[in-house]
Amino acid sequence: MPMQHALAPLPAETCPPFGSPATDSCALHFCFLLLPKFSMIAFAGAVETLRMANYVSRRELYRWSVMTLDGTVVQASNNLRISPVASPAPDSAFDAVFVCGGLQVQDYVSDALIKLLNSWARRGVALGGLCTGSYALVKAGLMSGYRCAVHWENLFAVREEFPAAELTEALYVIDRDRMTSSGGTAPIDLMLRITTKRFGAELADAVSEQFILDRIRLATERQHIPMAARVGFNRQGLVKVGQLMEAHIEDPLPFEDIASQVGLSQRQLQRMFKYYLGMSPMRYYLWLRLLRARELLLQTRMSIMGVTVACGFQSPCHFSKAYRARFGHSPTSERRLMRG
């Protein structure tokens, strides 16, 4: 299926429902609803961020309850078992509920879960999804009009099943009272962003320092999705092109050399890129180089000239112009915007 919108620009986040600075001493109470085979790293990353915020601040800023739909022990995808506090009730007093998914999430989104999520939504409870937990919100019809993040491994399958869903390739998305994140360590960034909005950047920075994180990633950053996942593993020509491009960021290959090395004509490649990615091969190549440049700007102290050379641009002027066209601001201002 063509991925015509796969590389659309990522819109900026909106504030979380409890994003304004705290004015009282009441702790935010989050519920983590674990589905069978949930991702332990996504769940633990989210909870540990809340715990560390309490530890660093020496205050109870957050409380959390761990639940399963039936109140019984649940096994994660790594086979570790978690004992829940209880099964949730529709009238439970939570500030937000995060559905934690993982492997085979489609098998565990039951009618009972959908009914429960809808009851919370009607009561105005903020809802979120970690890793593939976002799938439950989409299937429950609770993401209509909201942008949504999900792990890249499930992204295209969810798009196929729910073509009207506004799925993005972002690491995480905060869209009013919906908060979704991809898998891995992205839930840490989501919770840190919530903490920044609610309790200030100084506290979020202190938590990230405890975790030995280089930085807090922004909602406008996207997941790195391998070419094979975008177009299918049976499209070996395109997969090889993607591998060639990623191996030659600093010394970009001419288009004719790429076509020759993968044994396809330039016209064939043009058609395949247009069909599967909605863009030309060289535009995709430029996108890869700009993504690498953004990583270097945010994760290293390389000079602008150093990044220019490392990503194969002819001059800082050429680099800055391409960067501004893609991200809406210059490379120099990128570092200033890092904290958002």
- Is 117 within 8 Å of 127 (Cβ atoms)? yes
pLDDT at 3: 44
d(Cα 174, Cα 188) in Å, to the nearest integer? 13
What's the predicted TM-score (pTM) here? Answer: 0.71
d(Cα 340, Cα 154) in Å, to the nearest integer? 28
pLDDT at 2: 42
pLDDT at 6: 47
Q: Which domains does the chain have, with CATH numbers?
A: 28-210 (3.40.50.880), 227-337 (1.10.10.60)
pLDDT tens column, 216-265 = 887 777 776 666 566 655 577 788 888 889 889 999 999 999 999 989 89
pLDDT at 42: 96
- Is 38 within 8 Å of 102 (Cβ atoms)? yes
Sign of CA dihedral 32, 187, 135, 76: negative
Element (H, E) at 148: strand 147-149
- Is 163 within 8 Å of 173 (Cβ atoms)? no
Q: Which residues of 42-66 are buried (b: 16+ CB within 10 A; e: fewer)?
A: bbbbbbbbbebbeebbeeebbebbb
pLDDT tens column, 144-187 = 999 999 888 787 778 778 888 888 888 899 999 999 999 899 99
- Per run of 10 residues, the mean pLDDT along the chain (length 340 residues) is 48 73 78 96 97 96 94 94 82 90 92 95 95 95 93 79 86 94 93 93 94 82 68 70 88 93 91 85 91 79 90 93 89 71
